[in-house]
Amino acid sequence: MDSTNRTAAELGREIAAGRIDPVALAESCLEAIRSQDEDGRIYARLTGERALEEAKAAARRAREGRLAGPLDGVPVSWKDLFDTAGTATESGTPLLAGRIPDKDAEVLRRAGIAGTVCLGKTHQTELAFSGLGINPNTATPPNKGMPGHAPGGSSSGAAASLAHGLAPIAIGSDTGGSVRIPACWNSLVGLKTTHGVLPNDGVVPLCPGFDTVGPLARTVEDAALMFAALGGGEADLAAAPSPADLRLAVVETVALENCDAVQSGAFERSLARIEAAGARVERITAGELPEAFDLGAILFPYEAWRSWGALIAEHPGVLYPPVELRFRSGEPITRAAYDQAWQALGQLRRNFFDRFSRYDAFVMPTVAIQPPRVDELLADDERFMAVNLLGLRNTRIANLLGSCALNLPTATYAAGLQVMARPGEDVRLLQIGAALEAAAKA
């Protein structure tokens, strides 16, 4: 059974209609993974027995007319930081080698209740603390459209599992861009949810104040269905607005600076098509953003070091050096500085959304740069760190503002349109994304 280019929603509808057997679908996916990912660069490990048992249960429900939801029987790949009972969950690092949880992460449990089938665990950057997707300690997944170039991270294997046709949908995490960057660089849809909308119970942490769970998908419809399966609420895309009903703000401050010609060109062309579809587009300057980035330079490293500093200090030199250096940058930051930074960021968030309350959403290039070459980054640690920060820059705007955001593919490979909405407006964001999806990629 060839499900390589089928969306999760299409597969779910075919299962419901009795035209696809969930067991045959799961077997097909597992066989494709074994034959096409022979070097194990996309999947860290498979959960084959579990997948077949879950597929058999879905097949029984389908025969009895009691499917648990629109994705019942649909296979899903999971980033290697979601606890999976009885299966190693190592967050991409030898520091956690052999870590086997005894129960599923809460979002994985919820997805199981919704009937999805767990295929296995995908590779990621170490402890999710890099946006490039490069991990010389475990694996760097391939970028299908640009071989030899970075896949984007930290949910690198998640994106590769979709791009290579080895899963219909994938679950990743996003602390500073880790869903949206790989989605952008693999021309996929990627949803960064509002912090706290989906639970992080059983998710290996990085920065607890920023960590979020979100799907990578082929379409906004798939992302919406998976968001609901994870417990985030149903987004009625039939009620999506017309582009003509939307007032959008182009964030010029920071987000449009130093973008390469490919990214800026793709963004402006998509924006022109969205305007032609009727959307009202205005350009804004946001003086809050430079200060927010200064605060982020305190908050992200502080939380990351408090999560993993003790283990890193006990095992120096195990992490890839640029990643370890980034962790260690949080060591000297004091709790007082951290508390003050959070207080200031909270005020900046309120100021931003109060000042721009007239807009339905905010748009910008998802990433400022095209995927860099892996070999060039591995050869130069300083370049790795500089490129990593630039790659994360635009996506971090949403994390710093506490909002939800969506990557929409454009007509240019590895160039995305980022749509950002207010905190807690995840369902509305998905509806806006559905309204803009076709124009953005036309």
Among 69, 10, 15, 77, CA closest to 50: 77
Per the CB < 8 A criterion, the answer to whether 303 and 210 are in contact is yes
Q: Are residues 95 and 31 in the same domain?
A: yes
DSSP 288-352: HHHHHHHHHHHHHHHHHHHHHHHHHHHSTT-S-HHHHHHHHTTTT--HHHHHHHHHHHHHHHHHH
Q: Is residue 117 part of a domain?
A: yes
Q: Are residues 230 and 247 in the same domain?
A: no
Q: Are residues 30 and 150 in the same domain?
A: yes
Q: Are residues 269 and 159 in the same domain?
A: no
Three-class DSSP category at 198: coil
| pLDDT in the model for residue 339 | 98
372: containing domain: 243-289+332-441
Q: How far apart are CA 7 and CA 21, in angstroms?
A: 16
Taking only the tens place, the pLDDT of each residue in 165-221 is 999 999 999 999 999 999 999 999 999 999 999 999 999 999 999 999 999 999 999
In the chain, the percentage of residues whose pLDDT exceeds 70 is 99
Domain count across the chain: 2
| Beta-carbon count within 10 A of 238 CB | 7
Q: Is 116 left (phi over 0), alpha (psi -120 to 50) or beta?
A: beta
In the chain, the percentage of residues whose pLDDT exceeds 90 is 98
Mean pLDDT calculated for residue range 258-287:
98
Q: How far apart are CA 159 and CA 80, in angstroms?
A: 13
Among 18, 75, 67, CA closest to 51: 75
Q: How confident is the model at residue 252 (pLDDT cuts 50, 70, 90)?
A: very high
| Beta-carbon count within 10 A of 244 CB | 10
| pLDDT in the model for residue 5 | 81
pLDDT of 345 higher than 90:
yes
pLDDT of 333 higher than 80:
yes
Taking only the tens place, the pLDDT of each residue in 83-108 is 999 999 999 999 999 999 999 999 99
CATH code: domain of residue 382:
3.90.1300.10
Question: Which residue among 154, 156, 161, 187 is the active-site one?
Answer: 154
Backbone angles phi, psi at 116, to 5 degrees: -70, 160
Say whether 178 is catalytic. Answer: yes
pLDDT of 2 higher than 80:
no
Backbone angles phi, psi at 250, to 5 degrees: -85, 120
Q: Using CB atoms within 10 A of its CB, is residue 413 exposed (0-12), middle (13-18) or buried (19+)?
A: middle
Backbone angles phi, psi at 91, to 5 degrees: 50, 35
Q: Are residues 89 and 29 in the same domain?
A: yes
Q: Are residues 99 and 180 in the same domain?
A: yes
pLDDT of 287 higher than 90:
yes
Three-class DSSP category at 405: strand
Taking only the tens place, the pLDDT of each residue in 18-63 is 999 999 999 999 999 999 998 999 999 999 999 999 999 999 999 9
| Span between the terminal Cα atoms of the chain, in Å | 30
Q: Is residue 69 part of a domain?
A: yes
Q: Which amino acid is at 166?
A: L
**Angle CA(270)–CA(274)–CA(275) in degrees, nearest 5?**
115
Where does a domain end: 176, 211, 239? 239
Taking only the tens place, the pLDDT of each residue in 111-165 is 999 999 999 999 999 999 999 999 999 999 999 999 999 999 999 999 999 999 9
Q: Is residue 320 part of a domain?
A: no
Q: Are residues 435 and 336 in the same domain?
A: yes
Q: Are residues 176 and 275 in the same domain?
A: no
Where does a domain end: 217, 239, 261? 239
How far CA 319 is from CA of 252, 288, 312, 313, 385, in Å, comes to 36, 34, 8, 11, 14
Where does a domain end: 208, 239, 270? 239
Q: Are residues 83 and 172 in the same domain?
A: yes
Q: Are residues 223 and 267 in the same domain?
A: no
Q: What share of the chain is helix, strand, coil (3-state, %, to 5)?
A: 45, 15, 40
The reported pTM is 0.98
Q: Is residue 263 part of a domain?
A: yes
pLDDT of 1 higher than 70:
no
Q: Is residue 297 part of a domain?
A: no
Mean pLDDT calculated for residue range 399-416:
98
Q: Is residue 273 part of a domain?
A: yes
| Beta-carbon count within 10 A of 130 CB | 29
Question: Which residue among 91, 178, 187, 403 is the active-site one?
Answer: 178
Q: Are residues 79 and 139 in the same domain?
A: yes
Question: Both tokens of residue 75?
Answer: 């296979």
Q: Is residue 303 part of a domain?
A: no
Per the CB < 8 A criterion, the answer to whether 231 and 438 are in contact is no
Distance of CA 44 to the CA centre of its chain: 18
Q: Is residue 420 part of a domain?
A: yes
Say whether 79 is catalytic. Answer: yes
Question: Which residue among 3, 79, 91, 187 is the active-site one?
Answer: 79
Q: Are residues 130 and 222 in the same domain?
A: yes
DSSP 399: H
| Beta-carbon count within 10 A of 436 CB | 27
pLDDT of 4 higher than 70:
no
